[in-house]
Homo-oligomer: A and B are copies of this chain.
Amino acid sequence: MATIGDVAREAGVSRSTVSAVLNGRKLVLPETRGRVEAAIAKLSFSVNAGARALATARTMTLGVVVRFHEAEFSPALATYLVALSDAARESGYSVMLLTEADGEAAVRSAIAGRRVDGLVLLNVVEDDPRMEPIAASGFPAVLIGMPQDTRGIDAVDLDFAAGARLLVDHLAEVGHRRATFVRWPDDLYAAGSTYAIRFAAAAREQASGRGMTLEEVPCAVGPEQVRSALGEELLRREAPGALLVHNDAAVAMLPFALHDVGLRVPADRSVVSLHSAELARLYALPFTSVESEPEAVVHTAVELLVRRIDAPDEVPVARLVAPHLERRDSVAPPA
């Protein structure tokens, strides 16, 4: 592999001139530049990323710290990783995967080894231990997820509250006064899952502001439990004509549950939901919904992180990504 010295010799200039051409800094006579470029092409030279990193103290690499225990529903993970890598590339960065079971250790060693210029923490939860070494060292990082206390670290997440309001409004606007709120099981809220809490709180508030009644049905995960719980609710006398769903497992099974009991959407029931786009695709969900916006979230995250790398001392930022309603004709006025 050719080095910058080989190029310099070939072009009859010094290494620093080649470097100047490479980086576009300083003025180089067009003719000289031409010779250098020809030499580069001839030797098919390309800069050694490691050497450049050493000289500039910039690796142009971001680390993404994947939380290990994915007991939860994780089809979205790949989407986030790929989107992250794409967004990073747009800014000239590569992405390194950090998957140690002990996320905190992963963060520590990434910082210590100076392999990366910044870190993206995926799927951040309340009091996430991965934040500790970052907060302590001030290393550039961005959280995806929005804990109460971001400990001075930049953070991005979907605006779940706005999503809840969009969905409630959508039901209210066609005249629904009552809805079943199929939500996560209680322990998830108790565990401090902030997106769940934010969604539920906003849904309740918006509903009451709209004069709407929400009848809450917590729904455990597990296909069979979900299906029977849903079946029961759907068959209940006086059940509302609309369903507001924030529970991936439940919404995935909902088409089948509806089919089981012979109810049609939107004729018999209106349905709106917030879930990941990936889920919608996998299960071909036919519901009007607010979908997570992995590309937008990740794009914002990279933007913040790159800015933070360049300006480590600016005040931390928390950013919510505006959700939008994906209409799929699953809502009709109540009977």
Contacts and interface: CB of A to CB of B under 8 A. Distances in A.
A286 to B, nearest CB: 10
Task: Give the interface residue-count category, chain A.
Answer: 35 or more
A50 B53 CA distance: 7
A94 B82 contact: no
Given A54-B54, A114-B49, A99 B85 contact: yes
Interface string A61-80: 10010100010011101110
Contact of A112 (B46, B86, B95, B222): B46
A48 B114 contact: yes
Q: What is the oligomeric copy number?
A: 2
A189 B70 CA distance: 33
A100 interface: yes
Contacts of A59: 50
A278 interface: yes
A113 B74 contact: no
Nearest to A222: B284
Contact of A89 (B47, B79, B85, B99): B99
Contacts of A49: 113-115
Nearest to A221: B284
A96 interface: yes
Contacts of A95: 96-97
A113 B81 contact: no
A51 interface: yes
The 10 closest A-B pairs by CB, nearest first: A75-B75, A77-B78, A78-B78, A46-B112, A85-B99, A50-B53, A49-B113, A74-B78, A223-B284, A85-B97
21 contacts: A44-B112, A47-B113, A48-B54, A48-B113, A48-B114, A49-B114, A49-B115, A50-B59, A64-B97, A66-B85, A73-B282, A74-B75, A75-B75, A75-B278, A75-B282, A77-B78, A81-B97, A94-B115, A96-B96, A96-B97, A259-B260
